[in-house]
Amino acid sequence: MAPSLDAHSLSGPTTRPLVKKRVLTVSITVGGFGQQVQAMIDLAKARVGAYVCCVNAHMTVEARDPDFAEVVNQADLATPDGMPVLMALRRFHRSAQERVAGNDLMPALLQRCAEEGISVYLYGGDQDTQALIQERARRLHPSISFAGGHCPPYGPLAALDLDKEAERLNHSGAGLVMVSLGCPKQERFMAMMRPRVNATMIGLGGAFLLYAGIDKRAPKWMRDLSLEWLFRLALEPRRLWRRYFVTNSLFLWLLFKHAIGKHPGTT
């Protein structure tokens, strides 16, 4: 079951412009959970091309590639998703920033889209997962409208006809497109699609599986201690061991370089 939304304020206008602050390789949007949700809803209602990245340690490490760093930094919002990123943001900028994770954003945005009459499109994952997402969302929010869904075949972005994909999304009339293609593919996809679509896209990755009830989430105490990765590793060790050990080690290396003054971490 997804976490309760009671801990977050989901309504009310954005009270101040959201700004970004540098954390190692990328710039992170600062502002409360409710503020960032509202900013996404405002973009979706305006039907302008926009995209949101949910930044964790893995994405920060991937952004050592300058081209990918530009993709993340060009996002309309880049939320502090992972606890390591959040803790670095707090330390570097002495910020009281709260976590704005994709796993929490997905249920929050579905709730707000139902309330605001914004249609939602699901892009990525598989058909069974999408069906479970829609079933749960309709049970919780009977007024929600899904504009459609598409599960592109596994493969490189070069294999996709982006103009055709844009036509698919625009024809659906969706205001919000939830994307699950995995990092960094989904972020590159959204960046390439922004000039082509009239919708706000948000890269949610594994949040699809969590919302669908296929995956489980770590207990709150583990999330608060930055141990969510360990919980997931225990569930899928063969698939995730390499990613987590390599990613976490590289993230720590980036922190070390920042600490000794060899990285432009907080400009």
| pLDDT(33) > 60 | yes
Q: Which residues pair with 146 in a beta bridge?
A: 120
218 or 118, higher pLDDT: 118
**pLDDT tens readout for residues 206-219:** 999 999 999 777 77
267 or 88, higher pLDDT: 88
| Of 30-34, 143-147, 235-239, minimum mean pLDDT range | 235-239
Domain boundaries, the chain: 26-212, 221-259
| Of 28-37, 39-48, 92-101, 181-190, minimum mean pLDDT range | 92-101
CATH 1.10.357 fits 26-212, yes or no: no
| Burial class for 75, CB neighbours closer than 10 Å (0-12, 13-18, 19+) | buried
Q: At 13, which amino acid appears?
A: P
pLDDT band at 8 (very low <50, low <70, confident <90, very high): very low
| pLDDT(130) > 80 | yes
Of the ranges 74-88, 126-140, 240-254, which is most confident?
Answer: 126-140
| pLDDT(15) > 50 | no
**Residue tagged 């000794």 (tokens):** 260
CB 163 within 8 A of CB 169: no
| pLDDT(6) > 50 | no
pLDDT band at 241 (very low <50, low <70, confident <90, very high): low
264 or 161, higher pLDDT: 161
Mean pLDDT over each residue of the chain, to the nearest integer: 87
Please report, rounded to a whole number, the percentage of residues in the chain having pLDDT higher than 90: 66
pLDDT band at 235 (very low <50, low <70, confident <90, very high): low
CA torsion sign, 118 to 125 to 103 to 195?
negative
CB 160 within 8 A of CB 152: yes
- Return d(Cα 118, Cα 109) in angstroms, integer: 10
Nearest to 142 by CA among 120, 115, 123: 115
Neighbours of 156 (CB within 10 A): 7
| pLDDT(23) > 60 | yes
CA torsion sign, 124 to 132 to 238 to 228?
positive
β 19-23/120-124 pair status: unpaired
| pLDDT(5) > 50 | no
Neighbours of 252 (CB within 10 A): 12
Q: Using CA atoms in the order 177, 165, 28, 264, what is the torsion angle rounded to 10 degrees? A: 170
| pLDDT(266) > 60 | no
Please give the pLDDT value at position 83.
Answer: 87
| pLDDT(243) > 80 | no
**pLDDT tens readout for residues 154-186:** 899 999 999 999 999 999 999 999 999 999 999
Please report, rounded to a whole number, the percentage of residues in the chain having pLDDT higher than 70: 85
* DSSP-based three-state secondary structure for 220: helix
Return the structure tokens found at 15: 């009270």
Q: Which residues contact 158 (CB under 8 A, 6 or more apart)?
A: none
Nearest 5°: CA angle at 105, between 16 and 223? 105
